[in-house]
A and B are shown apart, each in its own frame.
Chain A
Amino acid sequence: MSLLQVRGLTKRFGKTDVLRGIDLDVQPGERIAILGASGSGKSTLLRCLNFMEMPDVGTVTLDGKVIGPSGKYRESELTQVRQRVGMVFQQFNLFPHMTAVGNVMEGLRTVRRQSKAEARTRAEKELARVGLADKAETYPAHLSGGQKQRVAIARALAMDPEMLLFDEPTSALDPELVGEVLNVIRSLADEGRTMLLVTHELGFAYHVATRIIFLADGTIHEQGTPDEVLKNPRQERTRAFLASHKQFSF
């Protein structure tokens, strides 16, 4: 059974149809890279999956249970879903008034109501996993972009999500900091975690993803294995997109 099933997902912003009827099935352990030009709806699709944006039409089914009904989402239901579907953002969105370990503990303390000691033990474990055990007491303002993003990943992991959504996790980073974040994501992939990743790092997508989805005009224009989509794209627009991304490669 699919972990996540999406049917006819449509999202409008004003008069613009950003997503036009997306159908998607995510199996446990799948790693899906979502590619597409800016404005193709990649981020919006991701944000609809954990209801940071509310879909206008369509259903999202998580582990066999339909979320909704569409248009009548209850806050308590959505906060449950968001704990099960973790998200990592382009701009990290760390809480600047809390230390690194405080950021990771926050969900455990406030949402899960864990004791301070329990939350701290777990948070330190997650920070160690992303290689930041020594930065536990550091505030975000004193961390590099790569370190911030790793704290943000640890914060998401602490909630034990069944699935992780990465929304361009390296796009805001200086080039020399991209590697450390991709390494962490890759280690999560090696653990067999289910993840959806919006990215412009085609090489990373090729090596880590089990499936590539190419979005254009709010629909899934082409999808398949990395070899199929990235090496032998069938659609003209996919080819054009890949060509523009490889323009200066050597």
Chain B
Amino acid sequence: MKWDFASVFDNTDALLAGAAGTLRLFAICLVCGLSLGLVVGLGRYARSKWLYWPATAFVEFFRNTPVLVQILWFYFALPILLPFTINPLAAAALGISLNSAAFSAEIYRGGIQSIDKGQWDGARAIGMGWGQAMRRIILPQAIKRMLPALTNRAIEIFKMSTLASAVAYVELLQQGKLIASLNFNPIEAYTAVAVIFFVFLWPLVQFTYVLERRLGRSE
């Protein structure tokens, strides 16, 4: 067989639009997922059962249901229950963000727990409250330890963005599907999509290796 990438290059505009959509979804989910994850992670660490149990229920629910099902549920089921419609971006962003929040919450909780209890003692002994100690003493040390795991989460979020094609959100895979069905060139179209993902993610993965080595050295 003959590879013919000309039909892919003819659709560069469509792929660029897809890449923009992927990046937009990635940025939203990265910010929302990791910051909500911190809130939920702190809830999982809290002693108050009013914080612990809701946070735990959240983590268990979203860790044990597939993201694809969540996205489809938000897109097709939620508008039936609530009096408004939801666009593909919102449905995908909700599903991926909530799922990432659940996974990153466990990273945050583990990171915070790994900090020596003496650090709490040192902070409290100079009159710091819980919030001050967390923000100034515990989190800066914990985040450093969590960085490799959090960058892995970011890579996962990037790849999960392809699930948004299930609700016809314009992202790379969706555009690849479109190009393949219009030009009858699935080999070239999907190869191109895979290569584009690789080009985005490979530097990111290299960065996490560097990060892991550097953090491992200073510990």
Report Cα–Cα, A93/B128, bound state, in Å. 14
Contact between B141 and A96, CB atoms less than 8 A apart: yes
A111 interface contact, C-beta 8 A:
yes
Query: Taking CB as reference atom, which chain B residue is nearest A104?
Result: B126
Q: Give the residue among A83, A110, A152 with the most B Cβ atoms within 10 A.
A: A110
Query: Taking CB as reference atom, which chain B residue is nearest A152?
Result: B122
Among A73-81, A198-206, A237-245, the one that faces the other chain is A73-81
Contact between B121 and A75, CB atoms less than 8 A apart: no
Among B132-140, B163-171, B202-210, the one that faces the other chain is B132-140
Report Cα–Cα, A189/B22, bound state, in Å. 66
Q: Which of B97-124 contact A (CB under 8 A)?
A: 118-119, 121-124
Among A21-29, A31-39, A84-92, A173-181, the one that faces the other chain is A84-92
Contact for B130 among A75, A83, A91, A97, CB less than 8 A = A75
Contact for A159 among B121, B127, B132, B136, CB less than 8 A = B127
Q: Which of A152-201 contact B (CB under 8 A)?
A: 152, 155-156, 158-159
Chain B interface mostly: helix
Residues of B within 8 A of A92 (CB): 122
B133-153 interface mask toward A, CB cutoff 8 Å, 1 = contact, 0 = none? 000110011001000000000
Residues of A within 8 A of B136 (CB): 106, 110
A107 interface contact, C-beta 8 A:
yes
Residues of B within 8 A of A155 (CB): 122, 126
Contact between B128 and A79, CB atoms less than 8 A apart: yes
Contact for A97 among B124, B126, B140, CB less than 8 A = B140
| Min C-beta distance of A106 to chain B, whole Å | 7
Report Cα–Cα, A82/B128, bound state, in Å. 9
Residues of A within 8 A of B129 (CB): 75-76, 79
Report Cα–Cα, A96/B132, bound state, in Å. 16
Residues of A within 8 A of B140 (CB): 97
Residues in B lying within 8 Å of A, measured CB to CB = 118-119, 121-130, 132, 136-137, 140-141, 144
Q: What are 6 A-B contacts with C-beta separation under 8 Å?
A: A82-B124, A83-B127, A93-B118, A93-B125, A97-B140, A155-B122
